Chain A
Amino acid sequence: MKRTGAQIFVESLKAEGIDTIFCYPGGATLNITDALTDISQIRQVVVRHEQAAVHAADGYARASGKVGVALVTSGPGATNTVTGIATACMDSIPMVIFSCQVNTMLIGNDAFQEADIIGITRPCTKHSYLVRDVKDLSKIIKEAFHIAESGRPGPVLVDIPKDVSSALGEFKYPERVHIRSYQPTYIGHPGQIKKAMRLMLHAKRPVLYTGGGVISSNASVELTKFAEALSIPVTNTLMGLGGIPGDHPLFLGMLGMHGTYAANMAITESDLIIAMGARFDDRATGKTDEFAPHAKIIHIDIDPTSISKNIKVDIPIVGDTRNVLMHMLKIVEEEKDAYKQHHNIAEWTGKINQWKKDYPLTYQKSDILKPQYVIERIFELTKGKAIITTEVGQNQMWTAQFFKFLKPRTCLTSGGLGTMGYGFPAAIGAQVAFPKSLVIDIAGDGSIQMNIQELATAVQYNLPVKVVILNNGFLGMVRQWQELFYEKRYTWTHLHSPDFVKVAEAYGAVGLRIETEKDVDKILKQAFKNNRPTFIDVHVNPEECVYPMVPAGASLKEMLLV
């Protein structure tokens, strides 16, 4: 039986087990849009801006571990996805973005709503396809999903011209994929792993430095076990939060620019860094020349390009983090006696615990409501059982510091690209994936306005996302740099915002406000149980800064403290 390309598209998604897409229509999507009529297996969430469709698919993917899917029209629809795709690419999030395209015959002619989206997104996708013949469509879709979720995950773009979605072809979904030029390495080299284990056996000041790779390879249980087996302290990158429970005694907190004193000092004094699924980003390392000056470095990562890119590594291990951890756990088990005899890091643990005690994360209490307090309360009230997304800026860093992420896939934040406007649509995506969970976007008054239109989506689909706006009247993080490094010249950073309560209400959502400490618990509780999309406008201290802070270009030990 012949089917149209649009029908083949729908059948392919079904065969792939896709249950949700985030989409926005246009002329070029119409064949596909029409073919999705009454297809109830695939939930179709229509957003209000294509950037939000991609962020929502991203939030859905991060929260669930499944591949996120977005579908948009040609030209402006496609170009609106770029920020979302770049965000996902930087953070290695598995997604497939379908963009529709003008007719094949018109490509290259500057046709109406034509954009070379393959060209535009080439540097921020893992791979991309232009479907030029309907007979290739299902194979390309299969490959796209395979590439997105295997190896180091990432976004894949598939561009479908309108004549391809209307052309007739046979539907046959390939059962397997084989791409001769793409075979990621999952199993770490046993010899390298052995060498790494030998270093760990004799190290006196080891630190595990773990990132998003632990989350994406679902390795948090193994990581925690491994850290416990050898009592090695763990620090996470922003992307790695939740990889080990935030209240675990071995956890040092986040490292880097706004990392904890204990984490940054541990790195600086360490004699062995075991990096897992982390990529030595400049926000994490500080000045690279002075990063872990006394340490040998073991680096486990599925992506060889991450290894020895910024920091020279002594023992590289290419492989899936979870797989390598399982291998290493086996060795620890087998060589129990050797570890009992040689592995002794009590002195190091003592030193670290002292740092933790002497320099905990803290802030100055005052009469004015502090943003850190609000986040502490969100953690206490939810007991950590919530999916948290963040925007970008101070709100993001305070969340990373003061919300103790207990589980993987509960911290959804734009780490690599730092995209303001990410958090709200990502929360919508996470809520679609987990309708019964409490999903909270911790936002800033600046960032929330970058995708505030998605209130309409939340209301339309009754997605009870909570947005806690830490309203400081500033683009706070930029203001902080102006305060510290530009003599308080707050050029461009003072914000005028609308009345967020009224905005929420105008969209048909709930709007609440908190102005004093004593309202915090009451209003938050009310918001968390009202089962409706809710904005909570929290007026916090306008000139609060995020501390500790390692100034850009300084080494990790040069922290400004509270």
Chain B
Amino acid sequence: MRHTISLLVENEFGVLSRIAGLFSGRGFNIESLCVAESLDPTISTMTIVTTGNDAILEQILKQLNKLINIIKVVDFKDIDYVSREMILVKVNAEEKTRAEILRIVEIFRGKIIDVSSRTYTIMITGDEGKLKAFLSLMKPIGIKELVRTGPIAMARGERMLKIKEQTEIKEEVNG
């Protein structure tokens, strides 16, 4: 099963390697990972798409939470969310296919962002289904190269990914 997870992490040196290392060291899959600074420049937001059954997902979430630099972990499993990805595709653009490509790109509200005598480079954003549909239409025309950002996600409505109220540090219980 595929899951989308969002993280708030300290915008610090080495955090990404801790996360990547956790996934590889424990044999978890990463399908995609997107990271960049958030509204608060001390924090980065990360979206990870991973696969695994419920038990594995539970471990992934717990293990991520355990990393010291991770502030918050949210699994979108039971949350209504929106998710978008951007792709760049370079396709064959011969005399006879150019018009058709333009039309399809228009329908998908994409953009041609670079042109050469034999290629178009197209930019499209959308959810998984839309991108899949677009790529299947381009396939017979001839896809030469594909680069994807991997999805980024956000909860719908007023729900937000926030740090919890700063709680007082608990006095140590151990004598």
Residues of A in contact with B (beta carbons under 8 Å apart): 118-119, 122-123, 126-127, 130, 132, 147, 149-150, 176-184, 186-187, 217-218, 303-305, 307-309, 312, 320, 322-323
Nearest A-chain residue to B25, judged by Cβ: A123
Give the docked Cα–Cα distance between A307 and B174 (Å).
21
Contact with A along B152-168 (1 / 0, CB 8 A): 00000000000100110
In the complex, chain A residues whose CB is within 8 Å of the CB of B63: 305
Alpha-carbon distance A556/B1, docked complex (angstroms): 33
B53 within 8 A of A: no
With a CB–CB cut-off of 8 A, which chain B residues contact A147? 68
For A176, give the chain B residue with the smallest CB separation. B169
Within the complex, the shortest CB–CB distance from A70 to chain B, in Å, comes to 20
Apart from the given pairs A130-B14, A178-B166, 20 other A-B contacts in the complex at a CB distance below 8 Å: A118-B14, A122-B17, A122-B18, A122-B21, A123-B21, A123-B25, A132-B13, A180-B71, A180-B163, A181-B9, A181-B69, A181-B72, A183-B167, A183-B169, A186-B172, A217-B173, A305-B59, A308-B55, A320-B173, A322-B174
* B62, CB-defined interface residue at 8 Å: yes
Give every chain A residue within 8 A of B163 (Cβ-Cβ): 180
On whether A119 and B17 interact (CB within 8 A), knowing A305-B63, A323-B173, the answer reads: yes
Residues of the B chain whose Cβ atoms lie less than 8 Å from the Cβ of A309: 59
B66 and A305 contact, CB distance less than 8 A: yes
- Whether A186 touches B170, Cβ cut-off 8 Å, given contacts A180-B71, A218-B175, is yes
Closest 3 A/B residue pairs (Cβ): A181-B71, A305-B62, A127-B68
Q: Are B173 and A130 in contact (CB under 8 A)?
A: no
Instruction: Compute how far the CA of A150 lies from the CA of B59 in the bound complex, rounded to whole angstroms.
Output: 21
Given contacts A122-B17, A122-B18, A180-B166, contact A150 B65 (CB under 8 A): no
B residues less than 8 Å from A312 (CB atoms): 55
* Residues of chain B at the chain A interface (Cβ within 8 Å): 9-10, 13-14, 17-18, 21, 25, 55, 58-59, 62-63, 65-66, 68-72, 163, 166-167, 169-170, 172-175
A186 CA to B170 CA in the complex, in Å? 8
Chain A residues whose C-beta falls within 8 Å of the C-beta of B10 in the assembled complex: 181
Give the residue among B59, B62, B72 with the most A Cβ atoms within 10 A: B62
CB distance from A156 to the nearest CB of B (A): 9
Q: How far is the CB of B67 from chain A (nearest CB, A)?
A: 8
A-B contact count (CB 8 A): 63
**Chain A residue, CB-CB nearest to B170:** A186
Given contacts A127-B68, A182-B68, contact A177 B169 (CB under 8 A): yes
Residue of A127, A182, A218, A322 with highest tally of chain B CB at under 10 A:
A182
A218 interface neighbour in B66, B69, B71, B174, Cβ under 8 Å = B174
Are A217 and B174 neighbours in the complex by a CB distance under 8 Å? yes
Q: Identify which of B18, B58, B167, B175 contacts A308 (C-beta below 8 A).
A: B58
Q: Which of A149, A178, A183, A304 contacts B62 (CB 8 A)?
A: A304
Nearest CB in chain A to that of B58: its residue:
A308
The answer to whether residues A181 and B170 also contact, given A122-B18, A122-B21, A218-B175 and a CB cut-off of 8 A, is no
Which of A119, A180, A320 has most B Cβ within 10 Å?
A180
| Residues of B close to A126: CB separation below 8 A | 68
Least distance between A150 CB and chain B CB atoms (Å): 6
Q: Which residues of A contact B71 (CB under 8 A)?
A: 180-181
Nearest B residue to A217 by beta-carbon distance?
B174
Could you write out 13 A-B pairs with CB less than 8 Å apart? A118-B14, A119-B17, A126-B68, A149-B174, A176-B169, A179-B68, A180-B166, A181-B72, A187-B173, A217-B174, A308-B58, A309-B59, A312-B55
Q: Which residues of A contact B169 (CB under 8 A)?
A: 176-178, 183
Q: For B14, what are the chain A residues with a Cβ–Cβ distance below 8 Å?
A: 118, 130
Chain B nearest CB from A301 CB (Å) reads 11
A305 to B21, CA, bound (A): 16
Report how far A181 CA is from B174 CA in the complex, Å: 21
A181 neighbours in B (Cβ, 8 Å): 9-10, 68-72
Question: Closest CB-CB distance, A415 to chain B, in whole Å?
Answer: 20
What's the Cα separation between A308 and B13 when bound, in Å? Answer: 32
How far apart sit A186 and B169, CA to CA, in the bound complex (Å)? Answer: 11
CA–CA, A217 to B175, complex, Å?
8
Nearest-Cβ distance from residue A165 to partner chain B, whole angstroms: 19
- Shortest distance in angstroms between A553's beta carbon and chain B's nearest beta carbon? 19
Contact in complex: B62, A320 (CB < 8 Å): no
Q: Across the interface, which residues of A come within 8 angstroms of B175, CB to CB?
A: 218
Shortest Cβ gap from B161 to chain A (Å): 14
Could you say which residues of chain A place their CB within 8 Å of the CB of B173? 186-187, 217, 320, 322-323
Interface centre among B63, B173, B175 (most CB of A within 10 A): B173
Q: Give the nearest-CB partner of A182 in chain B.
A: B68
Nearest A residue to B55 via CB reads A308
A176 and B169 alpha carbons, distance in the complex (Å)? 9
Residues of B contacting A127 in the complex (Cβ-Cβ under 8 angstroms): 68
Instruction: Return the chain B residue nearest A153 by Cβ.
Output: B174
Provide the bound-state CA to CA distance between A118 and B15, in Å: 12
B63: nearest chain-A partner, CB-CB? A305
Measured in the bound complex, the distance between the Cα atoms of B25 and A218 in whole Å is 31
Interchain nearest-CB distance for B41 vs A (Å): 15
CB-nearest residue of chain A relative to B68?
Answer: A127
CA–CA, A312 and B54, complex, Å? 12
Q: Which residues of B contact A150 (CB under 8 A)?
A: 172
Chain A residues with CB below 8 A from B9, complex form = 181
- B166 cross-chain contacts in A, Cβ below 8 A: 178, 180
Query: Given the complex of chains A and B, what is the CA–CA distance between A46 and B45 in angstroms?
Result: 45
Report if A183-B170 is in contact (Cβ < 8 Å); known contacts: A118-B14, A127-B68, A304-B66.
yes
